Amino acid sequence: MIPADLKPERVFYFFNQINQIPRPSGKEEKMTDYLVNFAKERGLFVYRDKVNNVIMRKPAAKGMELVPSVVLQGHQDMVCEKNPDVDINFETDAIQTELVDGFIRAKGTTLGGDDGIGVAMALAILDDDSLQLGQIEALFTVDEERGLMGAKNVEAGVLQSKLMINLDSETEGQIFMGCAGGQDLTACFKTEFEPMPKNWLALEISLTHLHGGHSGDDIEKGYGNANQLLAQFLKQANDRYGLRLCSFAGGNLRNAIPRDATAVCCVPFEHREHIRVDFNIYAAQMQEQYTKDADARYVMQSTTADNMLCEQISANFIECLANMFNGVLC
């Protein structure tokens, strides 16, 4: 729980309330209800559109009617990521927070500061009748994290302001005049399988507990991408031993740096010791290179498998994932 005396008190009061409300991208209905009720309780104009964007409007203070109207904009949803050992349902459970060394942190999950703190700032301003301001409008969009879906569906003619401040920045006390973009790529592969030969060995290889982070704010900080790091080892093993892939799973969200990845694969039994030695060397190299992923775990263990991908399909998938660009593209 956030301490009640943490300043600015009303900002953190609203941030604490917001973090009690489940709000995954695309499922912000409870958050939308909260915002509408907030406005109604204070007699503010409020409009909820067909996609659950919420617009509020607070009239100018007396004597401030000629001050240009400003929109304060934030988004309702949050990135829902957690550590593997944390039991939470992001669609029903609150975010558990604590104060550590002067910082509000979540217990094993994402905090929701993106963009809960921006929404809280706007609510604190709307809630404070002592502020001598011109008209304030607030726009709270939905489904930002999956591609600005709410922003793309804001209805024309509802907002009255010509100025807007987006409260979804990363650095306190600074206003950015622009930002980077991103791209999505969808790749399709056929999944033709064949039986694994009896003289082959099935292995489960996993990279877990990497730091992870937001694909925007954290992409330049040097955190490892578990999907890519695992694929790069698989490519090395494929080149040397003819490794075949049986399955691959990694990452949880399109806008979060993958923290965990697991592959089931198989190699001829004669290479069982060589690939284990290679993996230990690779793990040591990655731990030395990615020092910010101090808790990373690299595990290879025997498992069972009945089928493996056909040779070319397996190689194509591994090659594609291993060589996918990861990081800031200038």
The angle subtended at Cα 243 by Cα 239 and Cα 246, nearest 5°, is 140
Q: Is 144 a catalytic residue?
A: yes
Q: Is 248 left (phi over 0), alpha (psi -120 to 50) or beta?
A: beta
- The residue from 28, 81, 144, 145 that is catalytic is 144
Q: Which residues contact 295 (CB under 8 A, 6 or more apart)?
A: 209, 210, 211
Q: Which of 128, 154, 120, 139 lies closest to 56 in space, CA to CA?
A: 139
Question: Among positive and negative, which fits the CA dihedral 145, 148, 149, 154?
Answer: positive
Give SS3 for 319: helix
Rounded (10°) CA dihedral 133, 135, 141, 145: -30
Q: ∠56-169-122 over CA atoms, to 5°? A: 25
Structure tokens belonging to residue 313: 């399909």
b/e code 71-84 from CB counts within 10 Å (16+ = b): bbbbbbbbbbbbee
Looking up tokens 């919420």 gives 54
Specify whether 77 is catalytic.
yes
Residues classed as catalytic: 77, 144
